[in-house]
Structure 1
Amino acid sequence: MHIVFVCREYPPTLRGGGIASYIHEMAINLIRRAHSVTVICASDDTRVFSDRKEDGIRVIRLSGGDFILPQIEKSSLIKKMRCLYRFFSYRKKILRQIEQLKDVDIIEVAEYGAEAYYLSKCHVPVVIRLHTPTLLDRSNFSIKKFNIRTFYDYWIGKRELSILSQFKYVTSCSASLKDWFLKYVPDMTGNIEVIYNPIEISKWKTEKIDYVENSILYVGTVMEGKGVGDLIEACRILRERNIPVTLKIVGKWGTYAMKLQGYVTDNHFDWCSFEGNLPREELQNLYSKAKISCFPSWWENMPLVCLEAMLAGNVVIGSRNGGMTEIVTDKKDGFLIEPHAPKELAECIYKALMMNKNSVTEMKKNALYKIQGKFSFEAVMQFMENYYVSVIKDYKNEKGPLG
Structure 2
Amino acid sequence: METPAVDDAPRAAALVNLTAVERNVATLRGRLRPGAVLCAVVKADGYGHGAAPVARAALAGGAEKLAVVTAGEATALRAAGVDAPLIVLGPLRGAEVAAVVATGAEPVISTDEEIDALEADGRPVAVHLKLDSGMGRLGERDPELALERCARVGASATLRLAGVMTHFATADVPGDAAFARQLETFARFAERARAAHPGIVVHAANSAATLAEPASHFDMVRTGVAIYGLDPFGADPAANGLEPALTWTSRLAAVKRIEGGGSVGYGRRWVAAAPTTIGTVAVGYADGVRRALGFAQPPTEVLVGGRRVPLAGTVSMDSFGVELPDDLPARPGDRVTLIGADGGERVTAEELAARLQTINYEIACGISARVPRVYHRDGAVVDPA
Same fold (TM over 0.5): no
Tell me the TM-score normalised to structure 1 length. Answer: 0.32
Select the structure that is richer in helix: 1
Larger proportion of strand: 2
Q: What TM-score do you get using the length of structure 2 for normalisation?
A: 0.34
